[in-house]
Copies of this chain bind each other. A is one copy, B any other.
Amino acid sequence: MAAQPVPSAEPATCRVLGLRERKKQRTRDALVSAAHRLFLNQGYGRTTVDEIAAAVDVSQRTFFRYFSNKEEVALAVLADAEDYFVATLRERPASENPLQALRSSIVLAWRDLSATGTSDTGITAALELIQLIEETPTLLAAHLRRITEQERLIAELIARREGLDPAVDLRPRVLAAVFGGVLRSAHLAWSSGHSAPGPEGMIAVIESHFDQLGPALAADWR
């Protein structure tokens, strides 16, 4: 393996990663993708943790050292996408108002991810997972809880962005909750299958839901 001639395209941190750390990362990734495959093939409920562990040739106990429960390994696929969204939000210019910043961040994040994506571990996996979540009550519950944690983070980001104290001003938290609601509604609409598939379809659904936010709150619906 070309150990030396690698230029500094990679962050320095993972150059010096020991064998131990790399191995951990590999088994973690293997667990995630094995779980993903099993869940999609035979359903979440009909897949046991033992199966996932066996597919990667580790013990069940080791599985639970990587993921605190079965839901976590399923939702792990979305973690990257969420992080990317948050990173995007941090970089939105101050000229945008908060709602604009959230909307453009989510759309940009989807666009970037769909361009960057290695088709296997990337955005298609996330989309398949969203579908799976919507039809699996247990997963949906766990996902919704994660969403609310994300909303707290988003509220803090917005508050800092606008120079407000999040403990006093309710607007950041209200906005984050509204944003979460609109997104969830869009995910549900997309996964119910009446719209275009793939990232483009998802983006379109999200945009149309945001477009209806004003009208939905308007005094006159006619």
Q: Which of A163-200 contact B (CB under 8 A)?
A: 164, 167, 170-182, 184-185, 188-189, 194
B140 touches A217 (CB 8 A): no
Contacts of A98 in B (CB 8 A): 216, 221
B148 touches A212 (CB 8 A): no
In the assembled complex, the CB of A219 is this many whole angstroms from the nearest CB of chain B, namely: 5
B170 touches A177 (CB 8 A): no
Contacts of A54 in B (CB 8 A): none
State which of B170, B172, B221 has its C-beta within 8 Å of the C-beta of A171. B221
Q: A40 on the interface (CB 8 Å rule)?
A: no
> Which A residues lie at the B interface, using CB under 8 A?
97-100, 137, 140-142, 144-145, 147-148, 162, 164, 167, 170-182, 184-185, 188-189, 194, 208-209, 212-221
Q: Given contacts A142-B141, A145-B144, is CB(A174)–CB(B218) below 8 Å?
A: no
B219 touches A97 (CB 8 A): yes
State which of B140, B142, B174, B208 has its C-beta within 8 Å of the C-beta of A213. B174
In Å, the complex CA distance between A216 and B209 comes to: 17
Contacts of A178 in B (CB 8 A): 178, 181-182, 213, 216-217
Chain B, residue nearest A171 (CB) = B216
Q: Given contacts A170-B189, A171-B221, A221-B162, is CB(A184)–CB(B216) below 8 Å?
A: no
B218 touches A97 (CB 8 A): yes
Q: Give 5 closest A-B pairs by Cβ, nearest first.
A: A177-B181, A181-B181, A144-B144, A141-B141, A175-B216
